[in-house]
Structure 1
Amino acid sequence: RTYYFSIVEIPEFDFFLMYGTDVTESRAKEMILGKLSKYFSPQVYDSIFTGELDVNINTTRKNLTIFFSDIKGFTTITEKLEPETLTELITDYLTEMTNIAIDHGGTVDKYIGDAIMIFFGDPTTKGVKDDAVTCVRMAMKMKERLRSIRRKWRSFGIAEGLDIRIGIHTDVCTVGNFGSEDRLDYTVLGNGVNLASRLESAAKTNEILISENTYNIINKEIKCEYIDEISVKGRSHPVKTFQVEDLIPNEIESNDLNYETDGFSVILDEEKIKNKNEIIDYLERSLDHLKK
């Protein structure tokens, strides 16, 4: 009783206690929100907590670019690894790919084992063309990043290394909150999603396979090669497919240099370099060694 009486008689102390309680509650809320954010793509998370996205069953039709990828032969690889090693490797892979997706503004829809589904165009969009181009550029960046991840996988005794397949398609799909009154999933549905998944399964090792729809949007910025037509369930006509090769010269970023051949690879990103002289010295010594 004396304790509470003192709080009333000394306003400063009372304020301090209330402030301390508010800070504790605020930190607790921040911790909870931080944990919740791991279950949502950043765009979806931001839209929910800014009030832009209602938390109820609500969908709309939009022009989206959908991305699917998976690891070739993943089932066989898993049979050779201990659970702890498998968890470490797949977590490392998914983290790297997800970071690239977030950097490019993609909405990470879901992980299906080793597979990743991402889409561009909702809840934020830069326009159909920019969304499609950015999605393909993201896929190209993922392929580049595989080189460093592949070395780690081989260090764990996975002789096959790490190879992926990627499928991309642009189409009008239904996107929004699906589910029940008690549990919702923010995702995208439609034939366009099925086609993107079909393209991924039809892609060859380390190939980015895109539909004619996507090709018609991006072909001024990204060089592609016609591959073949594929049959897709639910579509009366075959779908033309194209393999992504490279950026058109004026689209190539000046600070990027990537080259790989048997026994040799180099990845240059000037924005990340902090020890240029050391790298130059190492390259000169490597060149002298190759000339011998």
Structure 2
Amino acid sequence: MTSQIDDIFKTERELIEQAKESLAINEEHGFIKIDDYRELLDSYIKIMNNFFSLTRLSDKQQQRTRKLLERLSRYVSPPLFKKITHGGERGELNHTKRVKLTIFFSDIKDFSAHSNNLESESLSVILNSYLEEMTHIVNKHNGTLDKYIGDAIMVFFGDPDFTDDYTHARRCISMALEMRTRLSELQKTWFELGYPHPLQIRMGINTGFVNVGNFGSLERMDYTIIGSPVNLAARLQTHAQEDQILISHETWGYVRDFVECSDPLHLDIKGFTQQVIAYELKCLKEDSGTQIASLEDKVRNLLEQVDLSKINKEELIDIMSKL
């Protein structure tokens, strides 16, 4: 772009220099020709015309870039899109890291069987309306939409925007409960479209340390997560019944004061040698909207986030004063 600007203004700069030299010579001899002023003025006019042309070109380029980014935003979750477009050259997304996230999986139970009862156009309408509504809820709760897998949805909380583990888990379960409520409302719309069979979703949620970052090849990469906690979240989802939300014991530890759950369930889950403790998520507690995390929760979160062996007394006092 710099070389193009230089080319555009090169000739005009030369004319200006020539006019200035001519004016200096004439002024030295005690007279100035009006033609010298006219030549200088014409050069400035040319420069201004080129400047306006360049500005219009830049505006058009910005419009094209803005439209391209708008299209790109449909394929990337908002937190990740913001990180890509506003991250500068710091390269936060160019490496993998190990962090604790809360992971969510959902799918529509027996969707393949349901799809056999639908025309392709009706199937597209129902599936797209479902995914659109669920995605809106994901974004509302600041989740990172990892991918769609047919009718399945994979979401995680805690990256690229980190708050704290408690907030991530509570956002995730609030999202899941809202999804379940919204699906029941969508059933009415689909019934009016001529599809009388209700759709039920199954959801699984887990919290744990995973590897997050870019995985793939130089030609194609995905910003995603891998690790055993991801597998457990997926297994809980497949183990859930219709309209059931299963959460792991790890997630339950972060939200137990925030939600109503079943008694512990001891599940035999494929891929795990020991029984997995899980809970059925039922609803939010009545006062959860105004509930403030207890001091016990805050201290526990502090111990998980801070390496006490590496901070001095003054730093510890400052941290504790914020509890």
How many Å apart are 1:159 and its aligned residue?
2.2
Query: Residue 134 of structure 2 contacts residue 179 of structure 2 at CA under 8 Å; is this kept in 1?
Result: yes
Q: Equivalences for 1:58-207 in 2 at 5 Å?
A: 58-207=95-244
Query: Residue 210 of structure 2 contacts residue 226 of structure 2 at CA under 8 Å; is this kept in 1?
Result: yes
1:34 to 57, 70, 76: 70
Cα distance in structure 1, aligned partners of 2:280 and 2:214 = 33
| Amino acid corresponding to residue 44 of structure 1 in structure 2 | L
Q: Are residues 244 and 53 of structure 1, via their aligned partners in 2, closer, same or farther at CA, if it must alter by over 3 Å?
A: farther
Query: Root-mean-square deviation (CA), in Å?
Result: 2.1
Cα distance in structure 2, aligned partners of 1:155 and 1:246 = 28
More divergent stretch after superposition (191-200 vs 223-232): 223-232
Unaligned runs of 5+ in 2: 1-10, 13-41, 291-323
How many Å apart are 1:175 and its aligned residue?
0.8
The reply to whether residue 232 of structure 1 matches residue 259 of structure 2 is no
**Could you state the TM-score of these two structures normalised by the residue count of structure 2?**
0.73
2:56 to 3, 20, 28: 20
Match of 1:250 in 2: 287
Query: Residue 244 of structure 2 contacts residue 281 of structure 2 at CA under 8 Å; is this kept in 1?
Result: yes
The structure in which a higher percent of residues are strand is: 1
Query: Residue 235 of structure 2 contacts residue 270 of structure 2 at CA under 8 Å; is this kept in 1?
Result: no
Query: Residue 8 of structure 1 contacts residue 14 of structure 1 at CA under 8 Å; is this kept in 2?
Result: no
> How many percent identity over aligned positions?
37
How many Å apart are 1:50 and its aligned residue?
1.9
Q: Equivalences for 1:267-282 in 2 at 5 Å?
A: none
Cα distance in structure 2, aligned partners of 1:72 and 1:235 = 23
Cα distance in structure 1, aligned partners of 2:49 and 2:237 = 64
Three-state SS of the structure 2 residue aligned to 1:98 is helix
**Could you state the TM-score of these two structures normalised by the residue count of structure 1?**
0.80
Q: Are residues 18 and 248 of structure 1, via their aligned partners in 2, closer, same or farther at CA, if it must alter by over 3 Å?
A: same
More divergent stretch after superposition (224-233 vs 236-245): 224-233
Q: Give the structure with higher Rg (CA).
A: 2
Q: How many residues align?
A: 250
Unaligned runs of 5+ in 1: 254-292
| Amino acid corresponding to residue 45 of structure 1 in structure 2 | F
Query: Residue 151 of structure 1 contacts residue 161 of structure 1 at CA under 8 Å; is this kept in 2?
Result: no
Three-state SS of the structure 2 residue aligned to 1:173 is strand
Q: Are residues 140 and 53 of structure 1, via their aligned partners in 2, closer, same or farther at CA, if it must alter by over 3 Å?
A: farther
Query: Residue 169 of structure 2 contacts residue 254 of structure 2 at CA under 8 Å; is this kept in 1?
Result: yes
Deviation string, structure 1 residues 235-292 (Cα, Å, up to 9, x no partner): 2211011111121221147xxxxxxxxxxxxxxxxxxxxxxxxxxxxxxxxxxxxxxx
Query: Residue 223 of structure 1 contacts residue 248 of structure 1 at CA under 8 Å; is this kept in 2?
Result: yes
How many Å apart are 1:227 and its aligned residue?
5.3
